[in-house]
Structure 1
């Protein structure tokens, strides 16, 4: 789902009430207490496991799935703890230091390389229940993301996310466009292709002049074509990455665990100059225009933006926007000849401090099974990692009148680029964030990223 880099606010989440499921819900978010790694006994002498996650929207589904697990495994009692994204990582880190964390927890690709360094998570391949899971159980590429440099798996895929375009059909109609006009678009970093033509049509200045009409004032905008959240980071998951990927660019010299970044690549720099150059054209909000309280979905709802690139974990949020006639369109095809979305996913990891790793492995294996994945899928919150789970989610979205194929087609067709799975993620962000901010503020050109890239690559020497 999450998916922005873990040091920012993470996935855009909204708290929702817990519906259904009777698995015990921990109160760590409210009390700040740290529970021991399965050290206490559950009811009637059963083994108690602690399972942590951050996504409030997924809590009902996981409560239901874990209920089923406990029915089938009466010797294990599972306590679920959910807390907000930032609190979650603070408490996870503190729990490892104190030796009092969860047995199983939702892990993030931007975090687990550091956990590997610290030896606080265990390889999963040694557990029979997990080793028996066939390689084709999950969407292609997900297992690879959770495989360490030693060839062992440290997380079992639980869900995945891709990027597509969200829009309000009323905004399109008001601009004289129809949903089909957002299909089959092309893009290039020189002139933006037919995608930029649509953006110009959707933008409108305070006098009512559209971006493709004479007299349009890019400094006085009533509605931007493309919405943007408050921050844009070094992964650009739902901002610039689809454009850079569609030139054939990749983050690093290897698919995973690369040691040389490619922020000095001319295609990458041209893509960023085009994307952030939309500010000068009045098509993208300037840096600081909208804060954390006015994310892209609020801009769509308030008529401040016409369309937005959004991750699949945001489908429910957009679908619930009052007054918005939601539509979902595919990304434009880039110079490689087709769209390319970032491919990211979450996984379940087992703590090295857990006193009940065998029981924890049984829980992880179950959560990765079709039975559990279908339960999660039917909640229509995320796309579970397995084919069966994805199918259940697609059917659930369809029952709500939503065609989510612009998200799932990227995976089916292999039109994806991987999240940068590397060491030194925190240090990379510290180096690169000022560059992205300055580019958005129009203080620099993307060619200046070459010097920043050199600093990043020195981290791997």
Structure 2
């Protein structure tokens, strides 16, 4: 599960790991060899929801490779990265671990990851089974530093009860449009879903913006992945001049997207105030929608289980995002299975990565409905798992199959993520203009590239 929260990449810590190589001459993991030549690999992950199906997959892997045992190291999102960076600095990283695109630039530059390109070629791995956009996200030049584990995208998650109360149906959330001038049909629907304590809606006489009972939408995205990046793509904005290049978020099409998110809160009064949802201390969006404070939320597919807990028994659904001035679009990325460059067991680690990214293994995980598989031909397996729960999740699938934008690949991601959290919060609170914020973040992030 991909969760974009505040990412404070410890570049100094990573720098200590630059001496790590792909062999075991001067570094290595804490894996060991047991009786009869059995090798124990350490496998790091952060999502407890995925642990049961992954354990099922690993049981099959061990049956096929009786000489390899796998120990799972599970830590929550925040602890995962701090622990991983500490382990890497001490040259005791796990043999195989989940990697995230926000950390990939630093890891790939610091020599933390194993280039598996030669092994892919030697074993004649059929790379056509993966989405090319996911594969490209883990490549730097001629080197490949991971294989696709899963994918995530953004959609509009809604409360079925809130829609019914507003006299709307899921069909009313399809084919919506927005524009930077009047908000379009998207804002019209959000106004119908927003209601104050006296039953009035935004735009109606007597509507009290200070006493709103339920908002139309909840937003929360420290970096922009779950909100303005999507509007930016739909408005013709490019966050970078090219992958690994310079930031370009100060261009008008990007600033308009940032302004639109502020307008949803402060002009149209259809979005939960940032003072409520601002990270890192604000409630998660599934909690906001689950307790009835908002009817919808722009959120990632990794949050499906959370919404199922907050709104059980088919209490929620998923619609595609609205279209902007240049059309529909969503942020789209995923995790990879990566091999630590200092592993003492590179052959066995590669066997594990091959298995985890194989159709057989990913089908096991998809059948559990825990994460969208990195192999597109298995997407319907995931859809069917959720249909059995009474939830249609195809809104995420539509987004993934349409126009998409990957998570920005940049050596300044650590700087951007810190600046974005602080500065954009000021925009959402109305304390800074969209243009000033974009200019400031753009400059400081590009300065970090130098």
What are the superposed Cα offsets for residues 59-99 of structure 1, whole Å, 9 maximum, x if unpaired? Answer: 11111111111111112111111111111111111111111
Aligned-pair CA distance for 1:134: 2.0
8 A Cα contact 1:199 1:225, kept in partner: yes
Aligned: 1:350 with 2:339: yes
Name the structure 2 match of 1:57: 49
Contact 2:367–2:385 (Cα < 8 Å) also in 1: yes
C-alpha distance in structure 2 between counterparts of 1:39 and 1:367, whole Å: 19
Confirm or deny: 8 A CA contact 1:52 1:82 kept in the other structure.
yes
Contact 2:320 2:396 (8 Å CA) reproduced: yes
1:138–1:387 Cα contact (<8 Å) kept: yes
**Equivalent residue for 2:321, pick from 331, 342, 359:** 331
> 1:224, 1:311 → 2: CA distance?
19
Q: How big is the shift at 1:156?
A: 1.0
Correspondence for 1:441 among 406, 429, 434: 429
How far apart are the structure 2 equivalents of 1:154 and 1:248?
A: 30
What residue is the counterpart of 1:94 in the other structure?
A: 86
Uncovered stretches (5+) of structure 1, i.e. residues with no partner: 10-35
**Structure 2: gaps of 5 or more residues:** 10-27
For the 8 Å contact 2:155–2:399, the answer to whether it is kept is: no
CA contact (8 A) 1:105 1:348 kept: yes
Deviations 1:77-127 (A, max 9, x none): 111111111111111111111111211101111112111222121101122
2:212 counterpart of 1:224: no
In the aligned structure 2, how far is the partner of 1:109 from the partner of 1:192?
A: 32
Task: Return the offset for 1:225.
Answer: 1.0
- Is 1:284 equivalent to 2:287 in the alignment? no
Q: Distance in 1 between matches of 2:441 and 2:412?
A: 15
Aligned residues: 428
- Secondary structure of residue in 2 paired with 1:162: strand
Task: Report the Cα offset of residue 128 of structure 1.
Answer: 4.6
Contact conserved, 1:224 with 1:305, CA < 8 A, in 2?
yes
**Compared CA separation, residues 182 and 308, structure 1 to 2 (3 A):** same
Residue in 1 aligned with 2:25? none
Q: Which stretch shows the higher mean deviation, 286-295 or 102-111?
A: 286-295
> Equivalent residue for 1:269?
255
Is 2:6–2:421's contact at 8 Å kept on the other side of the alignment? no
2:364 aligns with 375
Distance in 2 between residues matched to 1:43 and 1:373, nearest whole Å: 30
Per-residue CA deviation, residues 124-166 of structure 1 (Å, 9 max, x unaligned), is: 1122578522222112300000001x32110111000011111
Q: TM-score, normalization: structure 2?
A: 0.90
Structure-1 separation of matches of 2:311 and 2:5: 28
1:6 to partner: Cα distance: 5.8
Larger helix percent: 2
SS of corresponding position for 1:91: helix
Contact 1:218–1:283 (8 Å) recurs in 2 = no
